[in-house]
Amino acid sequence: MVSVVETDVAAALDALKNAASAADDMHLRDLLMDEDRCAAMVASHTGFLLDYSRQRLTKDSMSLLFDLARRVGLSDKIAAMFNGDKINTTEGRSVLHVALRAPKTASITTDGTDVVPAVHEVLDKIKGFTDKVRSGAWVGATGKTLTDVVAIGIGGSYLGPEFVFEALRMDPKASAAASGRRLRFLANVDPVDVARAREGLNPETTLVLVISKTFTTAETMLNARTMRAWIVKALGSDAVAKHMVAVSTNLKGVEAFGINPENAFGFWDWVGGRYSVSSAVGVVPLALQYGFDVVSNFLAGAHDMDEHFKTAPAEQNLPVIMGLIGVWNSTFLGYSTRALLPYQQALLKLAPHIQQVDMESNGKRVRLDGSELNMEAGPINFGEPGTNGQHSFYQLIHQGRLVPCDFVAVIKSQVPVSLPGEPVSNHDELMSNFFAQPDALAFGKSAEQCRVEGIREELVPHKTFRGNRPSSSMLIDELNAFTVGQLLALFEHRTVVEGFIWGINSFDQWGVELGKVLAKDVRTQLTASRSDGADVSGFNPSTTMLLKKYLSG
């Protein structure tokens, strides 16, 4: 039986479909002339301003999106997440990454237990440990200070920490605190990545951090064994206790590997891997590099955005607005891709991190109840810092396929440079592009304009830009630990909003499993062929041919 709620939602979806067909007759060139509309399509929160006037939306269609949010019960779903309800139904888990950055005074309960004290217990333990390593009170097996860290982990145990690490490298406070220290990441199960991560490092001054929620991920565990062998070869097996520590929810696995659980930092099954950067997964490596104070500011920033998300009315709520725009572009306008384009080199790892957050969360085709979704959900996400992207793939964005863009920029550079004789500062030069690109996409250039410019007739079609290409522009006052935390939480919540609207489970990732199972079969074959010369068997003809070629090399 179809419930009243479902009928309500269906009516809202129909209204939006009609609005989307009407959008075909509108051009951003005209929409952007409407001052009231432009003023209405701006939202802000401390340090952040979002201008979404270049989306192919009227004020009416935006109202319909807010109406859809009401009808699907978005605010109840957000509240359920913050309340610790088990909204990850396929795994029977709460989704409480917001608890990781909640202040000590907060109380968030799941399974009848307030999780906040446990969160702060781990944070205190991390502070104690990282302070000792940084001050030289914790030394390596030969008595030397551990100045270098190799953080082993993949997916959610890597991408978020690397994003924050890069975002703060040139922040004056973080960079001063990192003086004399190095942090490397080792993710790929490729001996080349191992060699790159430890290039120039001395085992005597290196701390190896094994980060894995499950402590079973094949790539991470082989890399951990490889780094352990490097430590043991140089310093003997007793050195492992001084040179290797772990972050995991599986403390038994940590112990079985040979790391003292005393030197392990835990987290919980209610933290999804891709949402785990504010757990020990990110806090340990980042506090080793930048000190605990900087990381506390990062957590405070994430919490600030959590509070905004939890309390601001939908019409002023940045993650809600961004999520609704995502749904509009993906489901109603049918755009299968979106680009994340930070005009800020410090954000070079934002797009790779958000790729996992978004595509692993919303790359789904069934609803929570297992029924077919029957509409387009999570888009393909990609991105590069501007202006590098301009000299790479922007041609397609301007004249090829239609890709909604999220432009992100920072008002004050972390490292301002002004050269005498140059017309603008280096940061202003970067920002000139940030302001120009969204307008080029929105307005385009008509054939008439080309002709007025005297462009030869045969070149007119090539030099015409249809325009009407949507984007949002975000300005952040400055990039520091606090605002990086806000930015992270903002994008995490955008994905969550989209998943709530689509009615899917944004917190499981069953799609990653099949490849892992098949890799096991190949591993078994490679072992048998290498040790006993066993024939390749049990694979399809194509894989058999490829494996034979590989084994003969």
Ligand X SMILES: O=P(O)(O)OC[C@H]1O[C@H](O)[C@H](O)[C@@H](O)[C@@H]1O
Query: Is 212 a residue that touches ligand X (CB under 6 A)?
Result: yes
- 118-126, 214-222, 309-317, 481-489 -> range binding ligand X (CB under 6 A): 214-222
Catalytic residue (choose from 391, 412, 462, 520): 391
Of 123, 158, 166, 125, the C-alpha closest to 277 is 158
Nearer of residues 512 and 545 to ligand X, judged by Cβ: 512
Catalytic residue (choose from 166, 204, 219, 360): 360
Query: Is 217 a residue that touches ligand X (CB under 6 A)?
Result: yes
Element holding 149 (H helix, E strand): strand 148-152
Instruction: Give me the residues paired with residue 456 across strands.
Output: none
Is 341:515 a contact under the CB 8 Å cutoff? no
Nearer of residues 97 and 134 to ligand X, judged by Cβ: 97
Nearer of residues 275 and 434 to ligand X, judged by Cβ: 275
Query: Is 495 a residue that touches ligand X (CB under 6 A)?
Result: no
φ, ψ (nearest 5 deg) of residue 505: -95, 105
Of 258, 304, 342, the C-alpha closest to 485 is 304
Cα end-to-end span (Å), the chain: 61
Nearer of residues 194 and 403 to ligand X, judged by Cβ: 194
For residue 248, give every residue at least 6 positions away whose Cβ sits within 8 Å of its Cβ, in sequence order, or none: 210, 211, 212, 213, 214, 215, 254, 264, 266, 267
Query: Is 353 a residue that touches ligand X (CB under 6 A)?
Result: no
Query: Is 471 a residue that touches ligand X (CB under 6 A)?
Result: no
Query: Is 97 a residue that touches ligand X (CB under 6 A)?
Result: no
The span from the CA of 105 to the CA of 176, in Å, is 31
As measured in angstroms, the least distance from the Cβ of 299 to ligand X is: 20
Nearer of residues 126 and 441 to ligand X, judged by Cβ: 126
As measured in angstroms, the least distance from the Cβ of 508 to ligand X is: 9
As measured in angstroms, the least distance from the Cβ of 509 to ligand X is: 4
Among 155, 379, 385, 438, binds ligand X (CB under 6 A): 155
- 212-220, 225-233, 260-268, 518-526 -> range binding ligand X (CB under 6 A): 212-220
Nearer of residues 214 and 449 to ligand X, judged by Cβ: 214
As measured in angstroms, the least distance from the Cβ of 483 to ligand X is: 25
**Beta-carbon-side half-sphere exposure of residue 474 (alpha carbons within 13 Å):** 25
462 is catalytic: no
For residue 218, give every residue at least 6 positions away whose Cβ sits within 8 Å of its Cβ, in sequence order, or none: 189, 516, 519
In 91-244, alpha helices (H): 116-135, 159-168, 172-177, 191-198, 218-235, 240-243
Query: Is 378 a residue that touches ligand X (CB under 6 A)?
Result: no
Is 215:259 a contact under the CB 8 Å cutoff? no
**Which parts of 231-290 interact with ligand X (CB under 6 A)?**
273-274
As measured in angstroms, the least distance from the Cβ of 241 to ligand X is: 22
Nearer of residues 157 and 206 to ligand X, judged by Cβ: 157
Burial-class residue 238 by CB neighbours within 10 Å (0-12, 13-18, 19+): exposed
Of 179, 183, 176, 169, the C-alpha closest to 414 is 169
Of 88, 517, 102, the C-alpha closest to 272 is 88
As measured in angstroms, the least distance from the Cβ of 482 to ligand X is: 25
- 153-161, 286-294, 339-347, 394-402 -> range binding ligand X (CB under 6 A): 153-161
Identity of residue 344:
Q
Nearer of residues 160 and 383 to ligand X, judged by Cβ: 160
Nearer of residues 152 and 487 to ligand X, judged by Cβ: 152
As measured in angstroms, the least distance from the Cβ of 262 to ligand X is: 21
Element holding 246 (H helix, E strand): strand 244-248
Catalytic residue (choose from 233, 462, 516, 520): 516
Of 277, 98, 290, the C-alpha closest to 175 is 290
For residue 356, give every residue at least 6 positions away whose Cβ sits within 8 Å of its Cβ, in sequence order, or none: 155, 156, 159, 274
The span from the CA of 326 to the CA of 158, in Å, is 26
Among 213, 242, 427, 494, binds ligand X (CB under 6 A): 213
- 210-218, 291-299, 322-330, 433-441 -> range binding ligand X (CB under 6 A): 210-218
233 is catalytic: no
Query: Is 71 a residue that touches ligand X (CB under 6 A)?
Result: no
Q: How many residues bind ligand X (CB under 6 A)?
A: 14
Query: Is 220 a residue that touches ligand X (CB under 6 A)?
Result: yes
Q: Pairing relation of β-strands 109-110 and 113-114?
A: antiparallel
Query: Is 413 a residue that touches ligand X (CB under 6 A)?
Result: no
Nearer of residues 97 and 398 to ligand X, judged by Cβ: 97
- 149-157, 235-243, 254-262, 484-492 -> range binding ligand X (CB under 6 A): 149-157
Is 189:130 a contact under the CB 8 Å cutoff? no
Query: Is 157 a residue that touches ligand X (CB under 6 A)?
Result: yes
Is 146:205 a contact under the CB 8 Å cutoff? yes
- 46-54, 64-72, 151-159, 424-432 -> range binding ligand X (CB under 6 A): 151-159
The span from the CA of 492 to the CA of 139, in Å, is 37
Of 386, 380, 379, the C-alpha closest to 341 is 386
Query: Is 362 a residue that touches ligand X (CB under 6 A)?
Result: no
Site string (19-48) toward ligand X, x via CB under 6 A: ------------------------------
Is 101:300 a contact under the CB 8 Å cutoff? yes
Q: Pairing relation of β-strands 337-343 and 380-383?
A: parallel
As measured in angstroms, the least distance from the Cβ of 356 to ligand X is: 7
199 is catalytic: no
Please give the sequence-ordered ranges of beta strands (E in DSSP) within 416-491, or none if there are none. 471-478
The CA-CA-CA angle for residues 71, 77, 79, to 5°, reads 125
Show which residues are catalytic: 360, 391, 516
Write out the residues near ligand X by the rule CB under 6 A.
154-157, 212-214, 217, 220, 273-274, 360, 509, 512
